[in-house]
């Protein structure tokens, strides 16, 4: 028995649907109709439907003994969640229908916009899709075949994701019709992102997966605070720290590891505990805002350029926030990080959803009934 894992490609909507499959035999019809004149292949419809099922099954109020793999139970259960900006409560079947429609509307909007712009995919993008399809088929071909999904359906959906990324560059890229300006990048970096220098002091012996006890944690915390004070004295500028941070790591990381019974074979390994990174809002979203695993509040409290200690559960992070534009140019940062996607992907994704919903729908209800969610298979 094998389950399907998803992999992120391009814009957020494409992410969870690439390796997801739905169950029924794809014979006829080969399409479920059109949206905005864009054909919606049955395979694409089934991918969207299966992804919608997975979302609904996670929201379903199931009875004791029922699981997310119980298709009939999920379809009958009540589901409450957010679709777009709307809070929706519906049966699993209705919830799946709404999400599936939203997904194929997005697909159609991307295809239509791509054609309107006269855009083309680069050879590298199409080659990446071809390689991905082959890899996915090699890993899960039996499951695809069992569910009636052919390689062409996978290819269409992956190409749609590449087209969405291309559209973003055609509109907002350096040579685009409405390029993001240097001033806009600067404002985004300063107002929405955190550039951090960090030194990780471990609270876990990863050789034995033993967590520091309370006494050991207090000892390590004292070391982290000593490290913080030293950095605030020796690396107190508003640009990158350089050697001071590596020297601190070489001093304090081995001491912390010794407290929990771990060892560092070579002092040079301390460099792996040092980092510097621009964190976008999406990056920061994985950190809690309720006091647990919180990253930004301690940095805000300390202020720019000031080192502080942040407890992240398995590590004590000695960190500070600095203005990266004191060290790098906007061109440097856009070369180092995909800031265009960070800035514009959500905005463009929302536009695709809205455009797709507004397009003329000429869908075949009988065809969609043929590919009912009740036919979904979770495993083979």
What's the mean pLDDT in 302-325?
A: 96
CA distance linking residue 26 with residue 41, whole number of Å? 10
pLDDT at site 202? 94
In degrees and rounded to multiples of 5, residue 77 shows phi and psi of: -70, 160
pLDDT of 327 strictly over 70: yes
In degrees and rounded to multiples of 5, residue 5 shows phi and psi of: -105, 150
Render 348-371 in DSSP notation, one character per residue: HHHHHHHHHHHSPEEE-HHHHHHT
Q: Are 278 and 337 in contact (CB under 8 A)?
A: yes
pLDDT at site 12? 39
Cα dihedral: 231, 237, 238, 243 (round 10): -60
Beta bridge partners of 210: 205
pLDDT at site 101? 97
- The burial of 99, by beta-carbon neighbours within 10 Å (0-12 exposed, 13-18 middle, 19 or more buried), is given as buried
pLDDT at site 17? 42
pLDDT at site 264? 80
Instruction: Show Cβ contacts of residue 7 under 8 Å, excluding neighbours closer than 6 positions.
Output: 15, 18, 19
pLDDT at site 16? 40
Task: For tokens 């996915």, name the residue.
Answer: 136
pLDDT of 10 strictly over 90: no
Cα dihedral: 32, 33, 36, 38 (round 10): 80
- Of 168, 133, 138, the C-alpha closest to 47 is 133
Instruction: Show Cβ contacts of residue 91 under 8 Å, excluding neighbours closer than 6 positions.
Output: 75, 76, 77, 78, 79
185-230 tens-digit pLDDT: 999 999 999 999 999 999 999 889 899 999 999 999 999 999 999 9
Write out the E strands in the chain.
31-35, 38-41, 78-83, 86-91, 194-202, 204-205, 210-211, 274-279, 308-311, 315-322, 361-363
Q: Minimum mean pLDDT among 15-19, 243-247, 302-306, 324-328: which range?
A: 15-19
pLDDT at site 147? 65
pLDDT at site 4? 37
Angle at 278 between CA 277 and CA 282, to 5 degrees: 120
242-295 tens-digit pLDDT: 899 999 999 999 999 999 998 887 777 888 999 999 999 999 988 876 666 789
Average model confidence (pLDDT) for the chain?
89
CA distance linking residue 189 with residue 146, whole number of Å? 47
Higher pLDDT, 186 or 149: 186
What's the mean pLDDT in 135-149?
A: 78
pLDDT at site 278? 97
39-94 tens-digit pLDDT: 999 989 998 888 898 899 999 999 999 999 999 999 999 999 999 989 999 999 99
Higher pLDDT, 334 or 18: 334
- Of 281, 267, 284, the C-alpha closest to 319 is 284
**Could you check whether the bond before residue 149 is cis, i.e. omega within 30 degrees of 0?**
no
């Amino acid at each position: 028995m094998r389950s399907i894992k998803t992999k992120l490609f391009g814009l957020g909507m494409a992410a969870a649907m690439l390796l997801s499959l739905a169950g029924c035999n794809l014979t006829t019809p080969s399409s479920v109709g059109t949206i905005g004149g864009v054909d919606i292949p049955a395979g694409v419809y089934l991918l969207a439907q299966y992804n919608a099922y997975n979302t609904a099954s996670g929201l379903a109020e199931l009875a004791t003994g029922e699981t997310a793999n119980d298709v009939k139970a999920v379809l009958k259960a009540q589901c409450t969640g957010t679709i777009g900006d709307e809070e929706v409560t519906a049966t699993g079947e209705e919830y799946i229908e709404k999400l599936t429609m939203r997904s194929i509307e997005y697909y159609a909007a991307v295809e239509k916009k791509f054609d309107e712009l006269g855009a083309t995919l680069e050879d590298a993008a199409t080659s990446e899709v071809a390689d991905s399809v082959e890899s996915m088929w090699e890993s899960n071909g039996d499951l695809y075949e069992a569910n009636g999904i052919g390689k062409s359906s996978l290819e269409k959906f992956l190409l749609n994701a590449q087209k969405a990324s291309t559209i973003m560059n055609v509109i907002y890229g350096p040579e685009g019709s409405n390029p993001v300006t240097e001033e806009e990048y600067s404002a985004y970096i300063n107002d929405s992102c955190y550039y951090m220098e960090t030194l990780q002091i471990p609270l876990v012996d990863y050789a034995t997966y033993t967590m520091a006890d309370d006494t050991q944690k207090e000892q390590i915390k004292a070391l982290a605070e000593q490290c913080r004070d030293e950095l605030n004295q020796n690396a107190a500028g508003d640009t990158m720290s350089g050697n001071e941070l590596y020297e601190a790591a070489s001093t304090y990381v081995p001491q912390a590891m010794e407290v929990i019974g771990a060892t560092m074979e070579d002092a040079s390994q301390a460099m792996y505990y040092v980092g510097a990174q621009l964190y976008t809002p999406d990056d920061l979203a994985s950190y809690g805002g309720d006091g647990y695993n919180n990253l930004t509040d301690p940095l805000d409290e300390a202020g720019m350029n000031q080192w502080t200690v942040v407890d992240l559960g398995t590590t004590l992070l000695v960190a500070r926030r600095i203005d990266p534009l004191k060290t790098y140019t906007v061109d440097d940062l856009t070369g180092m990080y995909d800031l265009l996607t960070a800035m514009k992907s959500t905005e463009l994704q929302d536009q695709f959803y809205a455009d797709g919903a507004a397009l003329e729908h000429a869908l075949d209800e009988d065809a969609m009934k043929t590919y009912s969610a009740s036919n979904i298979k979770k495993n083979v």
